């Protein structure tokens, strides 16, 4: 887990929570000062966010927040669920090679260890996101279907579609940690289905797994709406 991973997670959270307006320029130096980091990890995180469809570069190479709707995010997550469901079914039907079994088990062990923190630290949260990405990437790589892999790569360019882009915000709220624990139990159940060669069950679990992402999005948007209602009141009180 690197500083870039932590910065990436924090910037995703800031965008989703409405800290930046659509079209607002994201200045590297100001972001670095806000996050207590250097410009290098901030620059790398912005590149990743562009790949994920959350920001876009203008003609001068400056990054701007991209506008997106809740429906766009929900649709992208749903598509990912069905694509990953197909990938999981293919892996189960092909049989789980020993190397892949060991790699997935290592991911599960790391996830168990990281989620033991209560509350989660920002470092543990970022490390879990890296593990989560690896778990999903291993399954996609092992499915052997190039067209499916390209479809997932294309879908990942939509806002909050990638595997770890919709983890709970910073994982500091008890309910958020509960959802992460539930999602990780799904990882364990999916691994069990893969080991048993249960293609239909593996597919269903992978599709169901994305409901956690849908719930996280709804919770995040509810918090964002609540924050937007509170801010005008605060301005009146301060004024």
DSSP string for residues in 141-160: HHT--HHHHHHHHHHTTSTT
Strongest mean pLDDT among 99-108, 128-137, 164-173, 218-227? 99-108
Domains and CATH numbers, the chain: 3-65 (1.10.10.10), 70-220 (1.20.120.530)
Would strands 55-57 and 63-65 be described as parallel, antiparallel, or unpaired?
antiparallel
Angle at 37 between CA 32 and CA 40, to 5 degrees: 80
The predicted pLDDT at position 76 comes to: 92
pLDDT band at 21 (very low <50, low <70, confident <90, very high): confident
The predicted pLDDT at position 96 comes to: 95
**Mean pLDDT, range 171-178, rounded to an integer:** 60
pTM value is: 0.82
48-65 pLDDT tens trace = 999 888 899 988 889 999
Given a contact cutoff of 8 angstroms between Cβ atoms, the answer to whether 199 and 92 are in contact is: yes
Alpha carbon 48 to its chain centroid, in Å, reads 12
Rounded Cα distance between 74 and 87, Å, is 20
């Amino acid at each position: 887990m690197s500083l870039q991973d932590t910065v990436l997670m924090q910037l995703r959270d800031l965008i989703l929570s409405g800290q930046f307006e659509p079209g607002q320029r994201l200045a590297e130096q100001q972001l670095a000062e806000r996050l207590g980091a250097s410009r290098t990890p901030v620059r790398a995180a912005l590149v990743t966010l562009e790949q994920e469809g959350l920001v876009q570069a203008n003609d001068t190479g400056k990054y701007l927040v991209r506008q997106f709707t809740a429906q766009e995010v929900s649709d992208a997550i749903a598509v990912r669920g069905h694509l990953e469901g197909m990938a999981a079914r293919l892996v189960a039907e092909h049989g789980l090679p020993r190397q892949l079994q060991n790699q997935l088990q290592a991911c599960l062990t790391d996830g168990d260890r990281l989620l033991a923190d209560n509350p989660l630290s920002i470092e543990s949260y970022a490390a879990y996101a890296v593990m989560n990405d690896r778990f999903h990437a291993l399954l996609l790589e092992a499915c052997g279907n190039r067209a499916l892999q390209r479809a997932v790569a294309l879908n990942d360019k939509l806002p909050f579609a990638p595997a770890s882009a919709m983890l709970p915000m910073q994982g500091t709220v008890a309910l958020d940690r509960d959802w992460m624990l539930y999602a990780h139990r799904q990882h364990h159940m999916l691994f069990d289905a893969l080991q048993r060669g249960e293609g239909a069950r593996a597919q269903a679990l992978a599709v169901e797994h994305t409901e956690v992402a849908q719930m996280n999005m709804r919770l995040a948007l509810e918090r964002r709406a609540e924050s937007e209602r509170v801010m005008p009141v605060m301005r009146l009180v301060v004024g």
